[in-house]
Structure 1
Amino acid sequence: MTTAHPSTGTRPSLTGPLPAPLRRWGRLLPGVLLSAGVGAVAFGLQVIETALFAHPWIEGLVIAILMGAGIRLFWTPSSLWTPGVQFSAKTLLEVAVALLGATVSGAAVMALGPVLLLAIVGVVVLAILGGYALGRAFGLPPAMALLVACGNAICGNSAIAAVAPVIEAEGEDVAAAIGFTAVLGILVVLLVPAIGVMLGFDAVKVGVLAGLTVYAVPQVLAAAAPAGMLAVQTGAIVKLVRVLMLGPVCLALGLMRPGKAQGARRPKLKHMAPWFIIVFLILMGLRSAGLIPEVVLPPLQAGVTAMTLVAMAGLGLMVDPRAVVRAGPRVAAVAALSALLIGVLALATIVLILPA
């Protein structure tokens, strides 16, 4: 027998609105399933490659990006799919990076050596100066030239977002820089493993190349993964050093604009120290202290790989080829040449510092 509600005298509703968390996950589900489906097909193709040729010529992570971008050429996801695709490409990938910290020890960071650590700082500084010079040579305004230079030299969109308020960049300049960086970033991820194979690099060298050239921290996983877990770990450490340069760079830019810096908006802390970098460092500290059991590392690495595969599919689905056109030819040329510059600096660093 159904009883009346004590305060109203009416029977409680069994079909009320869903709680907010369930509604949010419901909105994410279609896009996440789409990304997972593309990732599953990419993994299946990698398995077939392995069966036919004993090893995959094109890794599943790369296939997932290419498949996603190929789908996007013919179909633009609607609002039904977009939230989940964005979640896969961004949040899921950030979680994978954060968990990767548990597989890296402090000893691995120190193993890079002081010379390589200083070289990473040098590459970032030279890439910013060179990128800015290229931008001015192509007639870009100073703020726009700085945005493109910092995006290429440090960490793509996050660097652009952090630097923009410091130099008081216009919204249109920020949008143009971010638009082209998103497309060019995918190209860099695809080129790194190919260059590593062509030049005969070992896992450490591929990791250093990925860490020095790839824009976004999470994308380092995709670029370095074909060379193995050592390459992924090395790439993550090198990229971490680049990201940590963002704070000093923002401070230096602010000090160079004394008349405006005092009243300028401060870059948000989440851009200068993203949450997944903080978690990465915490987990790396726990691993270094021996507080993470070795037994959990293999399944953790498998989980990181699976999440990265889904995220790469989502990243491909988010690539808009029209962003290149919207950014304009001068911005496109400067961004491409700046990427080429940091690539040359990275290769020079590897040849001069790392043993043959």
Structure 2
Amino acid sequence: MSLNIIRDKKLSRGMDKVLEVLPGVIICTIIAFIAKYLSNYVPSIGAASLAIFIGMAAGNTFCNRKIYQKGSKFAESELLSYSIVLLGGTLGIQTILKLGFSGISFIVFQMSITIALVILIGKKLKFSENFSFLMASGNAVCGSSAIAATAPVIGAGDSEKGIAITIVNVTGTVLMLVLPFIAKVIFSLETIKTSALIGGILQSVGQVVGSASLVNEQVKDLSTIFKIVRIIFLVVVVLILGKMKNKSGRVESGKLNSKIKIPWYVLAFFLMCLAFTAGVFPMNISNIFKLISSNFEVIALAGIGMRVNFRQLIRIGKKAALYALAIALIQIVSAISLITVFL
């Protein structure tokens, strides 16, 4: 009897979670269908881009309600993660190897410059060391996930973490829309250079997919790979920042290796790539993966659009806005320079 009660409670909690995310997921799915329909009439813009813009409009007007928040977050994070995993089942290892030594070198130098200058500017603007470290990891690696991984290692508080996540997401949102135009002017939308610019700068995977979708499918796939390689360096970045904090004697050494992990979808992506390269998936199965991945992606981008808060963009404050602007400019200039050298 007790086992039945436990099972019923788990089932009830599971149903509660489904009901919590359902309204937001339904709205995101509706937006995705509308975007796909409209893309038939404006194919030059595409369903992915339309989903972001419609999501922004909806999220800041009639869908700006608490009932949709958990669902839009689920679409932005979970559905996008599944989309990336399924994308791995359509790409061979040879596609990833296109990055080569020069691509990896670009990523390493771009991340190193970002970290060093973000910390330096943070000091100049008299932000706390913890806050500067959080901004460095968030901008260099993978936004909110990197900040969440770094915070316990350096002993950062919730307030510093929350503000850093807000600024990084706001910066990424603006860059998501700006970078395709910069790539068009500087690189004439050449695939590998445009992919490096977008995948090497933007803070979250969602922003990379959204920005690259404004260009084309090839850039989207290659930008995602650039981004995933950056995420692989998360452990290294967090360890370095933890050691830097340790030298100042303001964090316990026992915390250095805690709570650092590579996101599950990165490992799953590479496993799917290996399986596809080995011929585990027939081409018809791979095509199904591509179709599902594409649909999940558009729904996720609708969620990303819904979660762009225009009021938040206005409220971040002059000093924080200056910090964000400086970081954005540094990343753009360094990425363009490094792409010219390495790619």
Settle same-fold status: TM greater than 0.5. Answer: yes
RMSD of aligned Cα (Å): 2.3
Moved more, 123-132 or 84-93: 84-93
TM-superposed CA distance for 1:78, in Å, is 2.9
- Name the structure 1 match of 2:21: 28
TM-superposed CA distance for 1:27, in Å, is 2.8
- Name the structure 2 match of 1:131: 118
TM-superposed CA distance for 1:91, in Å, is 0.9
Is the aligned partner of 1:206 residue 2:199? no
Segments of 5+ residues of structure 2 without an aligned counterpart are 2-9
Is the aligned partner of 1:337 residue 2:314? no
Structure-1 separation of matches of 2:311 and 2:199: 27
Is the aligned partner of 1:223 residue 2:211? yes
Asked if structure 2 preserves the Cα contact closer than 8 Å seen for 1:149 and 1:338, the reply is no
How has the CA–CA distance of structure 1 residues 116 and 248 changed in structure 2, closer, same or farther, with 3 Å as cutoff? Answer: same
Aligned ranges for residues 105-116 of structure 1 at < 5 Å?
105-116=92-103
- Name the structure 2 match of 1:348: 337
TM-superposed CA distance for 1:87, in Å, is 1.2
Moved more, 70-79 or 280-289: 70-79
Asked if structure 1 preserves the Cα contact closer than 8 Å seen for 2:90 and 2:287, the reply is no
Moved more, 123-132 or 19-28: 19-28
Residue-by-residue CA offset, 1:200-245 (whole Å, 9 max, x unaligned): 1222222212210111123322222243332222112211221111
- Name the structure 2 match of 1:254: 242
Structure-2 separation of matches of 1:321 and 1:228: 27
TM-superposed CA distance for 1:76, in Å, is 5.5
Asked if structure 1 preserves the Cα contact closer than 8 Å seen for 2:137 and 2:238, the reply is no
Structure-2 separation of matches of 1:60 and 1:239: 22
Structure-1 separation of matches of 2:157 and 2:122: 16
**Secondary structure of the residue that 2:204 maps to in structure 1?**
coil
Is the aligned partner of 1:178 residue 2:172? no
Question: Which residue of 249, 262, 266 corresponds with 1:273?
Answer: 262
TM-superposed CA distance for 1:265, in Å, is 6.7
- Name the structure 2 match of 1:264: 255
- How many pairs align? 332
Asked if structure 2 preserves the Cα contact closer than 8 Å seen for 1:147 and 1:177, the reply is yes
TM-superposed CA distance for 1:110, in Å, is 2.2
Question: Which residue of 273, 277, 282 corresponds with 1:284?
Answer: 273
Asked if structure 1 preserves the Cα contact closer than 8 Å seen for 2:141 and 2:234, the reply is yes
Is the aligned partner of 1:87 residue 2:74? yes
Asked if structure 1 preserves the Cα contact closer than 8 Å seen for 2:239 and 2:257, the reply is no
Structure-2 separation of matches of 1:210 and 1:176: 24
TM-superposed CA distance for 1:151, in Å, is 1.0
Is the aligned partner of 1:157 residue 2:148? no
TM-superposed CA distance for 1:326, in Å, is 4.7
Structure-1 separation of matches of 2:12 and 2:156: 40
TM-superposed CA distance for 1:325, in Å, is 4.8
Structure-2 separation of matches of 1:265 and 1:120: 24
- Name the structure 2 match of 1:242: 230
TM-superposed CA distance for 1:246, in Å, is 1.2
TM-score, normalisation: structure 1: 0.86
Matched-pair identity in %? 27
- The structure with the largest alpha-carbon Rg is 1
Is the aligned partner of 1:60 residue 2:43? no
Residue-by-residue CA offset, 1:118-151 (whole Å, 9 max, x unaligned): 2211110111001111111122111111211221
TM-superposed CA distance for 1:336, in Å, is 2.4
Q: Which amino acid aligns with 2:19?
A: G
Q: Which amino acid aligns with 2:94?
A: A
**Secondary structure of the residue that 2:113 maps to in structure 1?**
helix
- Name the structure 2 match of 1:320: 309
How has the CA–CA distance of structure 1 residues 47 and 175 changed in structure 2, closer, same or farther, with 3 Å as cutoff? Answer: same
Asked if structure 2 preserves the Cα contact closer than 8 Å seen for 1:202 and 1:227, the reply is no
Asked if structure 2 preserves the Cα contact closer than 8 Å seen for 1:64 and 1:312, the reply is yes
Structure-2 separation of matches of 1:187 and 1:353: 26
**Secondary structure of the residue that 1:319 maps to in structure 2?**
coil
Residue-by-residue CA offset, 1:251-310 (whole Å, 9 max, x unaligned): 1122221432414375424xx311111211211121222222222222322221211111
